[in-house]
Structure 1
């Protein structure tokens, strides 16, 4: 049996993908000790093997600020009692908002679990004039990227094959380099985490914790080690609180330049089309007068 965890930002179509994969073979409960909903399903792959799929709460990053986000992090790190550590992680990205979604993806890659990226809503992206080069994105991330449209079940067979093959592929790792001073300051933090059994995710955890105000980890000497690392960073002119965001978004910008291509096929979003009319030199005032007339007419009619 293969255990798969679905993770992604809210509104990426993650739950739609979960439903498409598992159909009606689902069960809903709560995680032990918390009121966070646990949604799990299963399906059989082409070889007849059973694949269990856990739909993790939507989260923008692995720096938790709510119980839902904490559960997502803890499941990925194998810290939740009664929940097997994932054999494969499927990161669901919205092709229309790739740069925003890649922050979470970059954190997941550093955990080192077999990972597949589900690039969802490619149809909507293309309609908006965006084409994502999935082959180039695969090279940039170092893991399989599967374009799909979950609402139409397009790409599901390819995704299922990628999930089955993921454990046999090289483990993902950090895709960017830290500044030399930052890497040196974080080494003792990583060593502290490794000594406490967090060796698989020590790099991601160290970078996350250096900018966190609070953390739930009960590791001897961790707080003192973090304090010394922050002092070292500040003496090098590096702000500990913004370090993670700066290095990740710097890398994300480079990836986006390589894989996101704009075309003239897109007609723009509804908001963009409304703005084009509302801000037009001639039609803007006309639209304003029409709207105001309708408002006054409605008021007098209802009165």
Structure 2
């Protein structure tokens, strides 16, 4: 039987290890041709000693799939453009973009350097925007030329983007920005046949296995490994396939065998007096509304 993504061309950024590698292999197993992007940097974003993208591409080919490695920096306009060009030049088209690349530079806010803020914003938020912009431009041109487009984008946020995470102010802000970018892109690109969704995964990767060592630990032999990155990939593959038609602008939290549709910010208790309040009156109204509202979920790491 043909796979769920038979004939589709898929880009996965940050696909040299962890979640990205798992996604790339899962797409290939479902018949997709995969562009494996990874800059090959360390956990802190600095250059590493090897080229993991080529290894994953070779792994896919050894299993009978089709893949090509891309080692460019997708947080630059040139690198993002070359990423899309690699897909089109190698396989003739582009159908799905999975934005996954990222790294950490964790500090409490009072100790967080400006460079560490900028670096994390660059790879996570700009590293989502630029590939998305390049891919969207190609899909829009295809649609305007009268060629049918059934494109998919899967962005990668985090529980830190949904709730915040102590010691990860830069990472949390970037991941929250990805959620807003997802909502906007879904609306703007929908008329051209592009669906855009986001996931907030929990899995054992280089970014989590030390920060959340106890939670991410592998189970005893024979037990279900809830934190294995391969558990996240089936939802990503489905979102990247034709089968997800009609699903766009949504956020899914996924961990182990659990999938949750996140419902985002919604209006809660409201009071409108139809006239300006004094500060004291505004405070009184705010306290009354807070008493009627649901308490926020705790920030990760809160005591």
TM-score (norm 2): 0.37
Structure with greater proportional helix content: 1
Larger radius of gyration: 1
